[in-house]
Amino acid sequence: IHRKRIESIFGNIKYNLGYRHLLLKGKAKATAEWQLICLTQNIKKIHGTKYSHLFLIKRARKEGEKLKN
């Protein structure tokens, strides 16, 4: 179960965010670059979770309007 979740995170970083390889050289710089990539992934995840309820409310309202008409 954990393997599938981890692979999906790397897949998202690679394909959706477009990071195929690290651009900086050296252990310290590559580590810093990877941490920024992970930070971006986590911020996007938090943002999606925080505002997902607004999307669901908006969709429910639209469906309610369709039922009334």
Per-residue pLDDT of the chain (69 residues), as tens digits, is: 555 566 778 887 887 778 888 889 999 999 999 999 989 888 888 877 666 666 667 777 777 766 555
**Residue 9 is encoded by which pair of tokens?**
């995170």
So what's the pLDDT on residue 2? 57
- pLDDT value at residue 33: 93
* CB-side neighbour CA atoms (13 Å) of 47: 6
Q: Locate 62 and state its tokens.
A: 């639209």
What pLDDT score was predicted for residue 62?
A: 72
Hey, what are 44's tokens?
């996007």
> What is the model's pLDDT at position 17?
76
Tokens of 7: 């692979």
Instruction: Kindly report the pTM of this predicted structure.
Output: 0.58
